[in-house]
Structure 1
């Protein structure tokens, strides 16, 4: 009985990854190349305060450092402060918080003098944080083995995507990589049952990511709307930093859904 269930789950996972691969190939074939451009480095707010170029775009990365370091230190305690049940989860959360803290340094360094060379240091830590967060979500929903394999695969893919963008002057892989978790997490939230409570925080986190991207796209419009106080790109940094805060609150308050899992084990034992 258990073997048949595992076989069905395994086939379902293979279908999911097969569909994902086909969608990725389709997008790469039908979409035009998106090259790097000097326009990508021209932000609405490029003011210089106290000798720091692009001051607000630089200092609004500071929240990433605070949340990232705090979460990383708490995870180093073996996950006792958070409700982390599996070793694979711990590795995923460590990488997520480490990537979040690295975003602060990489993005601040890039915004001091935006160009094609420095943008990789801004993009790569963010994509590592995305990949580890998505892999941890998969681990929670589908199991430790597939979660850890996704963690390794997605981190490698994040490095390859940024290298591809710089080598072939094409941003499509990076953009697809950031888009997939925003689509997959809400869908998988309803398809696969959670191991822990407070799973709604996953949806809130995705919502914050999407809002941050919208703020980045409306960089100049937001800057003009608030009388040139703060730009959309600076707000994107602040909004994106809320995502790891939401995840941290989830880890602090969630609990394992013991009744469901204990009943599942009893039923399997009886069968």
Structure 2
């Protein structure tokens, strides 16, 4: 029987009512906390499960929403939503800050030990929180090697871990190089793991939606990427023994 408790949280952001999923570990003490950002299609049960898995490890975790409770099954609809969002750092930051406010309002959250982990669009939002100077202890991003406005990466105050598939056409080598050049020039403590043979969204099991070229699940690398995320958190925001 799981000792994790969960609840749905509704909150405003980006002109929408976001529907997040908060997962709490056993006990009543304050714990390190993690924002978990979803891929472009939105928040689904798999994403919610990530928050619950982190709660099982002892973290307060919020799987935050980016699409006002919607899960896009049509790639065209999804791109119409996230493409302008990804081009607007201020909108991404607003979504991230709204989720962060929800996490900080939870009494179990230790406000001095917060990390942000995101996938795709959610990863870009995690990075923008860092570029906005938020006092995070770690940022983990998978398939979101996005660059920011000039000079703002210098505001990132924590280690950054990034993962990407070697065959990801959305995050090709040129994008990887631009991202790593930006954060290296900013003096950020960073790591990049390239998972050989993996496509975009390699970490997400197949779902009932249209197949998009360049997107595909890689179970072995998905497990590895999750272990890498957990290792990052264990290093930077360890759960009290």
Q: TM-score, normalised by structure 2?
A: 0.28
More strand by proportion, 1 or 2?
Answer: 2
Tell me which structure has the larger Cα radius of gyration.
1
More helix by proportion, 1 or 2?
Answer: 1
Structure of higher RCO (CA pairs closer than 8 Å, 6+ residues apart) = 1
Q: TM-score, normalised by structure 1?
A: 0.25
